[in-house]
Homo-oligomer: A and B are copies of this chain.
Amino acid sequence: MTIRAMESSRAVDSGSSRRQLTRQKLYEAAVTLIAEQGFSATTVDEIAERAGVAKGTVYYNFASKSVLFEELLRHGVRLLTTSLREAAEKTAQDGGSKVDALDAMIRAGLVFIDRYPAFTQLYVAELWRTNRAWQSTLMVVRQEAVAVVEGVLRDGIANGELSEEIDIPLTAAALVGMVLVAALDWQAFQPERSLDDVHAALSRLLQGRVSGNR
């Protein structure tokens, strides 16, 4: 087992040392507060209080408020890309088509957003800002996620399943956006709908079964 692998496995299982526990509590407190109010409007005192921890502890665990935020971002996006990749690989193993893979990724995206709505909110709110300290972190991390979708599109074109005319990066971005915005709207404005409902609506859009009679 490589050192790298050890590190990432430790980072993935939310370790249970005292320190890891505190960090976890801080992540959870920060993610909801920042999703609600934005980064600048959220104070370190608030985060500490919500986490049930003294302010000094925040600074014992993170170099600064923005470092806390950056690590939070990385942590969250790692979860998302992992889950997208798994969804794509699973349908491949089951001998599904590429459209099936896209559909499975849509569902995986919805499940993620359903489980971590605050993180998604915060991510969308920060992604297109310019001139912010964590800008580069966000770009890298966005590219990772979109690349998974682009890969599936590329494979689909290669095997003739998808039209050669589609613009890979633009279509990938549009698909991601479709899922993101539909899911946030679902959460915010019609939370009574089931995940299956939302998935069905997006599937239909993906597969061009919007326009008429069939």
Binding site for B on A (CB under 8 A): 35-41, 99, 121, 124-132, 156, 160-163, 165-167, 169-171, 173-182, 184-190, 193, 197-198, 200-202, 204-214
Task: Indicate which residue in B38, B173, B182, B213 contacts A182 across the interface (CB closer than 8 Å).
Answer: B173
**Interface majority SS on A: helix, strand, loop or mixed?**
helix
| Min distance, Cβ A31 to any Cβ of chain B, angstroms | 13
Task: Indicate which residue in B124, B169, B182, B210 contacts A206 across the interface (CB closer than 8 Å).
Answer: B210
Task: Indicate which residue in B127, B174, B190, B197 contacts A202 across the interface (CB closer than 8 Å).
Answer: B174
11 A-B contact pairs sorted by A residue (CB < 8 Å): A37-B40, A167-B200, A170-B186, A170-B197, A170-B202, A171-B210, A173-B182, A177-B177, A178-B178, A208-B208, A208-B210
- Structural contact, A129 and B170, CB atoms closer than 8 A: no
Task: Indicate which residue in B127, B162, B165, B210 contacts A163 across the interface (CB closer than 8 Å).
Answer: B210
Q: Hey, which chain B residues are within 8 Å of A166, CB to CB?
A: 201, 204, 210
- A193–B40 CA distance with the chains assembled, in angstroms: 33
Task: Indicate which residue in B39, B126, B167, B181 contacts A177 across the interface (CB closer than 8 Å).
Answer: B181
| Min distance, Cβ A136 to any Cβ of chain B, angstroms | 13
| Min distance, Cβ A53 to any Cβ of chain B, angstroms | 22
| Min distance, Cβ A206 to any Cβ of chain B, angstroms | 7
Task: Indicate which residue in B40, B170, B204 contacts A198 across the interface (CB closer than 8 Å).
Answer: B170
Task: Indicate which residue in B35, B190, B210 contacts A129 across the interface (CB closer than 8 Å).
Answer: B35
Q: Which residue of chain B has the shortest Cβ distance to A130 in the bound complex?
A: B36
Lowest 10 CB-CB distances: which A-B pairs, in order? A208-B208, A177-B181, A40-B40, A173-B185, A170-B201, A174-B182, A40-B41, A178-B178, A167-B201, A125-B125
Given A171-B201, A205-B174, A125–B121 Cβ distance below 8 Å? Answer: no
- A41–B66 CA distance with the chains assembled, in angstroms: 13
